[in-house]
Amino acid sequence: MEMPFSSRMGASGVLPFLRLASAVDFVPFDKSSLDESSFFEQFLGLDLADSGWVPSSALKIDGSPYLGKWEIQEAYKYGGFAGDRGLVMTTEANFFAISRKLPHQFTSDGQDLVLQFEVKFQEGITCGGGYLKLLSDLDPPAFSDHSRYEIMFGPDICGSQNRVHFLTKKDESDDSLESRLRTPPMARTDQLSNLYTLVVHADGDMEIRINGGVAKAGNLLNSANLMVPPLSEPELIPDPDAKKPDDWDDRPVISDPSVEKPADYDEVYNSIWIPDPNVPKPEGWNDDESEPFQIADPEASKPDEWDDEEDGEWRAPLIRNPKCLHGCGKWEPPMIANTKYKGKWSPPAIENPDYKGEWKPPLIANPEFSKAANIGLRPINGIGIDVWSMQSGVMFDNIYLGNSVAEAERIGNETFELKHDLEYAAYKIAKPRAKHEPKPPPKTFEDIMDEEPGFLAWIRSPFSAEIKEALVLWGAFQVDPVTTMLQHPIRFAVYCFVFVVAFTFTFGAVNVLVFLYLNSREDAKEHDKKRLAATKQEEEQSKDMVTDEEIIAQIRGKATGSKTARTTTRKVR
């Protein structure tokens, strides 16, 4: 979210502004200081019906009704002055239209035209407009998108499209001819009040300002690429009847006519594949192209049991033609890539001595040009808002229409500047917090070395300078190793020795730890094996043990069944 005045306040400056915000009541701007021809709307009343603003009861060109509701109320999201009200759209996903007649007819003939107002998207904006229309011949209840406007100006955002509209009529007598900015500036999409100012000077110079800063500028009558289509005709135009002369040569480069194509070019340079000159014709090759590669075996004979009626006509098997043992027919060596290949012949290019440049038709006076050309605006008698919005809470305030840039700047300085600061302070406190706050990056070795006191400070004191010197030397070594070793041979040798010692010690320590770890695992395995063997031996011994009852039974000869067979084979101890 872009906050135009955020640079004025750090974290320490937010709380004082919040304390100030709760104590700053709205004070209406003194309209008596403005020129009598200027119009300024602050929405001081509480009732829309008494404000002079009339919601439209007409239908759009396509027959859709304007169902959006309007109210005059204070901002409910990131408010500024206490008691400051504006014109607010209170419903969402609707077409909105409202207008007001001016106290007197406004004209800009020979004077500057300045339109300025604030827009606040309290619920944010995904698709909707916040622009105003300056109207001629306004009938408020019948105001719609069919009503002629002289100027349309303000933000319009929908999805990826974000622009500040500036449209004006190209012709006083034609309602359909309108001109718009070729590349409009982007609008602000935050939830704070933003100030939009349009300045059209009497000489055609135009400015679009956003929050006091110029976002777009140019001359409506002289800048050919500012508006589409241009508002004025050029003084000179290309002659539509002019034709390019037949002898006009506009080729800057031509083929050199003095260079001829070599006779062997296609054979030597224009063949991608060529016969391999290193492969000779095999000895014994038969050049007779009429000789077949295979012939019927002359030594084969028809079997005695062969029956032509049942087995068909007998044919001798084919064998390789002895005359073609090394090949028959026209000899063609294998093809290889042509290392001299250049492609199709094209003579070298040279500068065209007859080049006359690119032909352009001559310029003639434009019969449509007029030095007295100006913007085709009719006298303005009303201001209207005709927009679509997916969000509710869009608020308009401090609408100014006049002939003075100084008046508009004074109004912005006295009403908007402090309001925006107060709103931003409220936003800083109430804005949604990130789900995952950013974490600082991990500390580098240099950060650890630079930390204050304690053990690190004790380590750093003798070694810090030497470590930094080593890092500098390492950086130089990476850039130019030979020069670095020649300039610092002793230091380089010492560092290499220290590195080898440290590496050897570290490598040895790691190996010892690995050996101890692996050896401990082998001892554990050997212990497990011995314990398992002892367990098995005990089980075997338990099987060989003879009970007292079995011994007595053996003596008396009364042991029977499997018991007898089992005990008689045992040695009685």
Evaluate whether 134 touches 380 at the Cβ level (below 8 Å): yes
Q: Give CA separation, 49 vs 22, 71, 91, 540, in Å.
A: 30, 9, 18, 109
Report cis status (omega within 30 of 0) of the bond before 229: yes
Do 459 and 397 have their domain in common?
no
Write down the pLDDT at residue 12.
41
Tokens of 163: 């622009």
Residue with tokens 């040279």: 350
Do 469 and 404 have their domain in common?
no
Max Cα distance, the chain (Å): 149
- In this prediction, residue 570 has a pLDDT band, given cuts at 50, 70 and 90, of very low
Across the range 367-385, mean pLDDT stands at 81
Do 175 and 151 have their domain in common?
yes
- In this prediction, residue 355 has a pLDDT band, given cuts at 50, 70 and 90, of very high
Residue 108 included in any domain: yes
Q: How many domains does the chain have?
A: 2
Whether residue 9 is predicted with pLDDT greater than 50 in this model: the reply is no
- In this prediction, residue 388 has a pLDDT band, given cuts at 50, 70 and 90, of very high
Residue 546 included in any domain: no
Do 180 and 88 have their domain in common?
yes
Residue 309 included in any domain: no
Q: What residues form DSSP beta bridges with 74?
A: 85
Evaluate whether 359 touches 249 at the Cβ level (below 8 Å): no
Query: Which residue range forms the structural domain that includes residue 215?
Result: 6-232+374-430
Do 450 and 424 have their domain in common?
no
Q: What's the distance, Cα to Cα, between the start and end of the chain in Å?
A: 99
- In this prediction, residue 373 has a pLDDT band, given cuts at 50, 70 and 90, of low
Strands (E), 42-108: 54-55, 70-74, 85-89, 94-106
Do 135 and 59 have their domain in common?
yes
Mean pLDDT rounded to a whole number for the chain: 85
Phi, psi (degrees; rounded to nearest 5) at 273 = -115, 140
Do 36 and 63 have their domain in common?
yes
Residue 130 included in any domain: yes
Residue 435 included in any domain: no
Residue 499 included in any domain: no
Q: What residues form DSSP beta bridges with 197?
A: 116, 209
Do 410 and 455 have their domain in common?
no
Do 394 and 458 have their domain in common?
no
- In this prediction, residue 440 has a pLDDT band, given cuts at 50, 70 and 90, of confident
Residue 290 included in any domain: no
Write down the pLDDT at residue 69.
97
In terms of average pLDDT, the best of 6-10, 80-84, 318-322 is 80-84
Q: Give CA separation, 146 vs 59, 107, 142, 194, 287, in Å.
A: 9, 22, 9, 28, 93
Distance CA(231)–CA(229), nearest Å, equals: 6
Instruction: Pick the closest to residue 392 from 44, 55, 48, 69 (CA basis).
Output: 69
Which comes out higher in pLDDT, residue 164 or 564? 164
Strands (E), 328-485: 335-337, 349-351, 363-365, 380-389, 394-402
Distance CA(401)–CA(214), nearest Å, equals: 18
Do 424 and 458 have their domain in common?
no
The domain that contains 24 carries what CATH number? Answer: 2.60.120.200
- In this prediction, residue 404 has a pLDDT band, given cuts at 50, 70 and 90, of very high
Do 221 and 176 have their domain in common?
yes
CA dihedral 149, 370, 201, 98 (to 10 degrees): 0
pLDDT tens-digit profile of 52-66? 999 999 999 999 999
Distance CA(259)–CA(274), nearest Å, equals: 26
Evaluate whether 411 touches 183 at the Cβ level (below 8 Å): no
Stated length of the chain: 573
Residue 480 included in any domain: yes
Write down the pLDDT at residue 561.
44
Q: Which amino acid is at 146?
A: H
Do 93 and 12 have their domain in common?
yes
pLDDT tens-digit profile of 214-244? 999 999 988 878 999 888 877 888 999 999 9
